[in-house]
Amino acid sequence: MHAAGARLTAGQATIEGELAGLQGVIDALVREGFSTDSAGPAFEQAYTEFTRGVRQVLEGLTGMSRYLTAAATTFSDADAQLATAIRR
């Protein structure tokens, strides 16, 4: 579970990096290539909303990672306590 939690955290960092890079592409596109009165700004707004949704997913990954890490620690602690109790 610790490994899965770490993997979720790493995946989140990867996605955040990709998202930042893609935002740069969209910014340049709207500024230089897709600069219309209506369609360009509408596209930029749609991409901003998409990015907001992805960030919410990333927050979910953070929560899942924390849960897995806490559960793994709890299970490990309980296992150690049970082993200690049996040895008495």
Domains of the chain by start residue, with CATH: 2-87 (1.10.287)
Alpha carbon separation from 63 to 11, 13, 22, 26 (Å, rounded) = 13, 14, 24, 29
pLDDT mean over 53-69: 95
pLDDT digits (tens, 9 = 90+) for 5-57: 999 999 999 999 999 999 999 999 988 888 788 998 999 999 999 999 999 99
Q: How confident is the model at residue 16, as a pLDDT? A: 96
Give the list of residues 6+ apart from residue 3 with CB closer than 8 angstroms, or none.
none
Q: How confident is the model at residue 73, as a pLDDT? A: 94
